[in-house]
Structure 1
Amino acid sequence: LAEEVDARSIHQVGNTGIDSLRTLLAEMPPAPRAARARDTVLVTLHRRENHDRNAGIVCDALIALTLARPDLRVLFPIHPNPRVSATVHRRLEVHPAFDLVAPMSYRDFVFKAAAAALIISDSGGVQEEAPHLGTHLLVPRSNTERPEGIETGWVQLVRADREAILEAALEKLAAPTMRPVPIDELAPFGDGNAADKIVHVVEQTLLQHAHA
């Protein structure tokens, strides 16, 4: 709109990723979601700003978290970029509280995320999913392109600082349970029907051109 594109040619349909999430959540048995893995923190890192030094800071914060909460286990699917993986392996593989694993399938990741006590991730997609999973998410970044997630109360930015991450993680782990954001017409990133809406728009556009 700011570029003076005709508003009639712009269609807000939502994110197709929420369509996939909605499908998976419908397949998930309610019992595992209700009985969360209260001892599991799920972690991912991949963004350039969290390479090298910042990856080390996050790792140090995770070590401190497991010392403060010896009951916790950290599940860490490691991104193949060596500027992340090398640091993670060097800092964490000697600690028994960490499960360092290969990248997971989307289905497996969603199931683990829905059952986790806390997620720490710089992933944009996870920022969109966490409010619907009902799992608090800490984003080790100074800003986000998805402020709508923060507005739900499920997503929190935290600077790349050992004490800041540790304090925020302990706070979220102790937070009272909240209801997940339903995937409906008020959901911030779409109601789970984006693909159907896209098909409808394409069909209508083709019909208009056919009769022009």
Structure 2
Amino acid sequence: MQGGLLSILLLGFTLGIKHATEPDHVIAVSTIASRTKKLSRSSLAGVFWGLGHTATLLIIGVTAVVLGQHIPENVASALEFFVGLMLVYLGLNGLRKSRTVAGKGNHQHFHKKSFVIGVIHGLAGSAAMVLLSATNADTGSEAFQFILIFGAGTVVGMLLFTTMLGLPFLVTSRKAIPVFLMRATSLISVLYGLYYMVQTGSGFFI
């Protein structure tokens, strides 16, 4: 029994790392992390995204597993569509802010925004997460452990990505590079957000 639970938790951690690198997650966090030249801020943007993502999954996921309920498909589609809207907003906002000097901004603001983005992604991904937890976990306690270790995997995965994103800024002091990166990630965010809305909107509106 213990061996089986350990295997489930190990699976959860591995899936968490993989989950963190999904395109919509990476693009959304990149719009935040690319606005600073400080490696610590870039890295912590990933950490706070993971914390927000995990907090949502714990609240919604465990509650749904304990009650034996799943998120309705139309609600899940609506939440996914909202993620697309968020990506477009982040991209447009990033393009607007790229006109100012990159690298400025409040430390706390970075973390709050990353946390909120993580919460939204947690809402959108909670339906699949709950289904996976319910399939492998026998009790609410096991579901809690699974989601918690899954969340730890997302934190580690996003921390690694945002740290790698910030590494180039350690070897340069030129402001043109972060400005270019801000604009590039923002444009990608807008385009992918529109694509994501088209893909998820069919299940939402139909």
- Same fold flag (TM > 0.5): no
Q: Which has the higher helix share?
A: 2
- Higher RCO (CA-CA < 8 Å; seq separation 6+): 2
For the aligned pair, the TM-score class normalised by the smaller chain equals: under 0.3
With structure 2 as the length reference, what TM-score do the two structures score?
A: 0.27
Q: Which has the larger radius of gyration?
A: 1
Larger strand share, 1 or 2 = 1
